[in-house]
Structure 1
Amino acid sequence: MDDYINEEVVEIDKVIEENKNGAMRRVTTETHHSGPDGSERRLYRMVAVSFGMLCVLQVALNISLRLESDSLTEERDQLPTSYNNLTKERDQLQREKDDLMEKSSNPSWNKFESCWYFVSTEGKTWNESRQDCVARGADLVIINSRKEQRFLFALNKRFWIGLTDSETEGFWKWVDGTPLITRYWVNNQPNNGGSVSTFPGEDCVGLRDGQGQPEKTWNDLNCAEKLNWICELCNNNLL
């Protein structure tokens, strides 16, 4: 009888132990699953990175919008200046157009290649002639080529050109300050009136007519003599 009772007690102890161990395993399993697993942690990291990228993009967008806004403001502020410049250019073009129309209808102006030439009908001193040209928005003619020299010779007039050595004797330069390079002097010219010491000398250049040698027509003369003159105006906007 005692043995039987002991066996029952042992069986009961086994059942209790098994139940205890099972409960502990469940608690351990449940405890293990209560925290985030590996996939959940990766998801959290992805969300955090995405949020960070969104913040960076937002900052970049704000900077871009600010820069664009500043640029638009600057362009807006420049509009009045641009408008004024365009207005001035328009007015200048209109004046040049009117000037072209006036020259085209005026027989005193002759066109050759890219320039206009005013041929006077009266005589003045070299300085007075130049003043007249300047008042017309031009200057005494500067001869730059053999073709231009021949064109002027064909006008068959005796006139002043824009060449002088009044500043330094023997150093000839044009009215725009450039030194003389190509020369179309009459034989034995320039001679300063026959003597270097002659006063007031011959410091201005006139073009002779009717000599039959178009490339030998320049002559130095006393600037106080009165000749016809030719003004030259070269402006590509008038073409």
Structure 2
Amino acid sequence: MSYSNMEMEMSEYIYANEPAEPQQMEETALNTPGEDDRAEEREVVIYEGSDYYEGHRAATPSAVKPGRTWVRAQTLCLLLLCVLLLAGIIGTGLHCRIKLQTHSESWAEERKQTLWGLSDFCKDGCTSFNFSFYYISSGKKSWDDSREDCRGRGADLVIVNSKEEQMFINSKNLVVWIGLTDREEEGTWRWVDGSVLNSTAFWRKGKPNGQHGGGMKCVDTYWYSEERSWSDEYCARQHHWICERMADF
């Protein structure tokens, strides 16, 4: 076979195959004169597209499988949720800290004001019992003047709330004005804070009796040596008095 006929057969073999599949041909070349007389076969494999290699379709690096995309989306959502949760925790912590700090500052200011008030209240000496401070006068005044003095100290005449407090007052061994009167309504005894007396436990037996035309409108501890020491009295009488100030701290 001549070299020209062999070249034509090789061309026909190449173009006879389908373009989408890798094509292969065998070329047998003869040595040129002067070279070894042995025939040497050379196999040439020609690939028409980079998408095929040894009968397999090559994977395109840019292609991403759908399953992998879904996993990435889930991971991103979880990460976002973690960030939001962390932000919420930090925000709540900051809010609580600011609120606690504000409350502490407010409490400290109230305590400071209370201490200043007590300092003024106790300028002439005072004593404490439970959650209250008491000023016991050294002089004597009417019920109205006594109450005026207490108000000037940022307090008021004492209100008796318990048996223990009653015994504390009696222990001073003084006839003192307390913050009880029926001036607003005859027979209705009220404390200086406006509350109505709801017990007769500390009235002296036979008291109140409203002698002398009902002019006895104020209460003192005339019988201080006994637990039931209260007596109704003329408000103009001169007695010692006790002021009470609550300690709110």
- TM-score in terms of structure 1 length: 0.63
Letter in 1 for 2:161: N
3-state DSSP class of the match of 1:117? strand
Alignment of 1:175-194 (within 5 A): 175-183=192-200, 184-193=202-211
CA contact (8 A) 2:175 2:222 kept: yes
Give the match for residue 22 of structure 1. Answer: 17
CA–CA distance in 2 between the matches of 1:19 and 1:84? 94
Give the match for residue 95 of structure 1. Answer: 116
3-state DSSP class of the match of 1:168? coil
1:174 matched to 2:207: no
CA contact (8 A) 2:175 2:239 kept: yes
1:117 matched to 2:129: no
3-state DSSP class of the match of 1:111? strand
CA–CA distance in 1 between the matches of 2:182 and 2:114? 37
CA–CA distance in 2 between the matches of 1:154 and 1:52? 79
CA contact (8 A) 2:219 2:230 kept: yes
What's the offset of the Cα at 1:38? 7.3
Give the match for residue 245 of structure 2. Answer: 233
What's the offset of the Cα at 1:153? 1.4
Which of 142, 147, 150 pairs up with 2:164? Answer: 147
CA–CA distance in 2 between the matches of 1:55 and 1:225? 85
What's the offset of the Cα at 1:150? 1.6
Task: Give aligned pairs, total.
Answer: 206
Give the match for residue 207 of structure 1. Answer: 221
3-state DSSP class of the match of 1:41? coil
Larger Rg over CA atoms: 2
Unaligned segments of structure 2, at least 5 residues: 24-46
CA contact (8 A) 1:208 1:218 kept: yes
Give the direction of change, closer, same or farther, for the CA distance of 1:85–1:153 in structure 2 (3 Å limit): closer
What's the offset of the Cα at 1:202? 1.7
Letter in 2 for 1:215: E
Q: Give % identity.
A: 32
1:220 matched to 2:232: yes
- Would you tell me which structure has more helix in proportion to its own residues? 1
1:42 matched to 2:60: no
CA contact (8 A) 2:143 2:235 kept: yes
Letter in 1 for 2:64: R
Letter in 2 for 1:163: L
CA–CA distance in 2 between the matches of 1:116 and 1:162? 15
3-state DSSP class of the match of 1:191? coil
Considering only aligned residues, what root-mean-square deviation do their CA atoms show, in Å? Answer: 4.7
